[in-house]
Amino acid sequence: MKRLSQYFFRGLITVLPLAITVYVLVLFVTWTERTAMWLIRPVIGDFYLPGLGIALGGLLILALGMLVSKPITSRLLSWIELPFTNLPVVKSIYTSLKSFADYFAPHAQDAQQVVLLKWPGQEMGIVGLVTRQSMEGLPAPLGELDQVAVYLPMGYMIGGYTVFVPRSWTTPIDVSVEEAMRMALVAFMAASRSAPPGAPPAT
């Protein structure tokens, strides 16, 4: 009976991440298809081609990205954002979501680096992510610090801390930002995908 329980939980652990991933993807694709088709239905009528809504939605997002890259459109967008950045409660929600989205932007990831943070004289190390290479632009006294900002994610992504430390306290780790966040999500219980065959699990 015990062996059967072990087999059951092993099977559950194997299929659960796949099932959840597929379920989320199906929800996203269905919502994208429905929304895009709702927008273009007045133009194309009853004509339907599977995937057309997703394709048009992707083109719209691409076009929007190209537009907001233009200085004029960027200024216009900043005016549109004014109500969202000035209302008390809405401001907190909007700016938090926008900062989170900007965090994963390609230009932002160029400045990010996965590091091992160790205090001088301490053997314990913490894996973190350098989110700012310079304090320039931050209000005083943070802007006056000659340090780097390191984000320390907590296990299962239930939160994290940002600390400001000397650059000498950090040692770069040869792993991508996405891989480090994936490993932090499961409290580093899984081995790195980029680890060579036969290498011990990441700790």
pLDDT tens track for 23-63: 888 888 888 778 777 777 777 777 767 777 677 777 877 88
Radius of gyration of the chain (CA): 23
The yes-or-no verdict on residue 197 having pLDDT over 50 is no
Calpha distance 27→61 (Å, rounded): 18
Choose among 103, 148, 158: nearest CA to 128: 148
pLDDT (average), residues 185-203: 57
103-112 — which CB contacts under 8 Å span 24+ positions? 103/131, 109/177, 112/177
Percent of the chain beyond pLDDT 90?
4
136 CA to centre of own chain: 23
Q: Tell me the sheet residues that pair with 116.
A: 127, 171
Q: What is the pLDDT of residues 112-145, one digit of tens each?
A: 788 999 988 888 988 888 888 888 877 888 777 8
Mean pLDDT of the chain: 75
